[in-house]
Amino acid sequence: MKTSSLRDQHMVKPGQKISLSEIAPGYTGPYSQKSEVQGLLQANRKELVRLQELLYAEARHSLLIVLQAMDTGGKDGTIRHVMRGVNPQGCVVTPFKVPTAEELAHDYLWRVHKAVPPKGMIGIFNRSHYEDVLVVRVHNLVPESVWSKRYEQINQFEKHLTENGVTILKFFLHISKEEQKRRLQERLDDPRKQWKFAVGDLAERQRWDEYMAAYEDVLNLTSTPWAPWYVVPADHKWYRNLVVSSIVVETLRGFNMSYPPPKEDLTGIVIPD
């Protein structure tokens, strides 16, 4: 399967409606096991390292990667595996947790705009401004008359970013409720992973259907030509990593980057002994 077909296959086409119940979280395309894609994953990782160095050196573009998922959906694992080997000087991960008192004193996009990557950088949002139409909606933290306006506000915010040199990739890591249970049980059973387990995750799990409805609205209302969403089947981590890494690599290649010329004339320069 070509990279471009992965991108096309998993994109939420702007203006078209999708239903998450019709997208299989266990889908793996033409592949049946991890060993079949090991070479592709290694090639993507090597190419990503090369392209990120170019991005950093040229400093003309910035890339923002947004990761959203249910608990245990694989946001941390995606960052760890897809971005392995990337120069940490050129990549910043921002986790968005419960807003602080200072953040709550501003509009909900204030803390997000501050974290947008500058030119030459890759920024990764582990959760994002979309929490303000997901958690906020499911838990009724603000009235519907407030959160319902945020879809268009977010669209315009992202359009502003893209018109100012920020390319946005948004990935929803789509896992099944059965796979979430398996991963939660794995955390509970393994002393090395128990620190990740939060009893509150079980309460959130009870709201699964509400979250799926909220995510569907996010995907259908905020997948735009300038910042489309990708629904990534994520029950199989290796396929998740293949899809995300392939789309990131293809996007960076599309920047048509080159190393900048030296700042000074280097003709005749001799390094002294």
pLDDT of 201 reads 87
Q: What is the enclosing helix (H) or strand (E) of 125?
A: strand 122-126
- Provide the token pair at 257: 């980057």
pTM metric for this prediction? 0.95
Kindly state whether residue 270 falls inside one of the protein's structural domains: no
Total domains, the chain: 1
Q: What is the pLDDT of residues 18-50, one digit of tens each?
A: 999 999 999 999 999 999 999 999 999 999 999
Which CATH number belongs to the domain containing residue 71 in this structure?
A: 3.40.50.300
Domain of 49?
3-253
CA–CA distance, 44 with 250 (Å, rounded to integer): 9
Kindly state whether residue 160 falls inside one of the protein's structural domains: yes
Kindly state whether residue 113 falls inside one of the protein's structural domains: yes
Q: One-letter amino acid identity for 18?
A: I
Kindly state whether residue 104 falls inside one of the protein's structural domains: yes
Q: What is the pLDDT of residues 133-182, one digit of tens each?
A: 999 999 999 999 999 999 999 999 999 999 999 999 999 999 999 999 99
- Strand 122-126 to strand 91-95: parallel, antiparallel, or no bridges (unpaired)? parallel
CA–CA distance, 178 with 243 (Å, rounded to integer): 22
pLDDT of 267 reads 87
CA–CA distance, 239 with 42 (Å, rounded to integer): 13
User: Given the structure tokens 């990740």, which residue do they identify?
Assistant: 196
Kindly state whether residue 266 falls inside one of the protein's structural domains: no
Residue 1 pLDDT grade (very low, low, confident, very high; cuts 50, 70, 90)? very low
